[in-house]
Amino acid sequence: MPSLRESQLSMQHWLLHEADGDGADQILSMGIAPRQRLNIYRNTILGTLSKALQLTFPAVQRLVGPDFFEAAAQAFAREHPPLCADLNRYGAEFPDFLQQLESAATLDYLPDVARLDWAVNRALHASDASALELASLEALDPGEQDRVCFVPHPSISMLKSTFPVDTIWRAVLQQDEPAMVAIDLKEGPALLLVERVADQVEVRRLDAAAWSFAEALFGGVCLATVLGNAPDVDAPALIASHLLAGRFVEFHVAPLEVLR
């Protein structure tokens, strides 16, 4: 007699991979054959996960078409079933999955468009957080200021692509055929900051210096190190712009050993 855990794993394997095994043998026949009953569940599960991915990756779906997307989404779902019940958080591995998908190899930019879709979805569903109060920074001792490490707003993502993925993403979602035709794939790179502002998500391009500076700040690198690696930027102005935009929610002071 298999344990409950063994039965659950057998059922999951049968549902996702249509494999032979004991999954169907553990289902009672009550008017519907066990395999037919499991097929109903399989179709429901894969259909639900495919729909969730379609909502999360709308630009990808429009680029490849509904049939291709459905097949790719179901293949992904079989390899990467969700680990939590919140399907808004499902699909983080989908861009890397597309990058390994041979049938999508001719669309070099597709994985990065998927990464932008994911960043927008992440921003849309990120938790709310209050902006950092400037008074808390002003209260620091002068000797602590260089060791400040900022914590970014949960909605923020930094994305770097060799392709103009933001241009592609907008043109596809707006169904702007002339804009799509005019896209030069050699126009990149695109260095993007994705964030939620009020009730909408913004995707903005930064120049190389500003992007690298922001990536380090949002990555929790202490201020002294960030400033030391960016001698050619107007650091006070950039930091002020991030603070005024509410892109930091808190900070901590790194130990002295970090600067030694």
The per-residue pLDDT for range 62-92, each reduced to its tens digit, is 999 999 999 999 999 989 999 888 999 999 9
Q: Which of 124, 107, 111, 102 is closest to 55 using CA atoms?
A: 124
Domains within the chain, CATH numbers bracketed: 1-107 (no CATH), 127-260 (3.90.930)
pLDDT of residue 235: 94
* Average model confidence (pLDDT) across the chain: 88
pLDDT of residue 43: 75
pLDDT level of residue 232 (50, 70, 90 thresholds): confident
Report whether pLDDT(12) > 60.
yes
What is the percent of the chain with per-residue pLDDT over 70, rounded to a whole number? 83
pLDDT of residue 38: 67
How much is the pTM? 0.87
Answer whether residue 22 shows pLDDT above 60: no
Question: What angle do helix axes 235-244 and 208-218 make, rounded to 10 degrees?
Answer: 60
Q: Supply the DSSP symbol for 48.
A: H
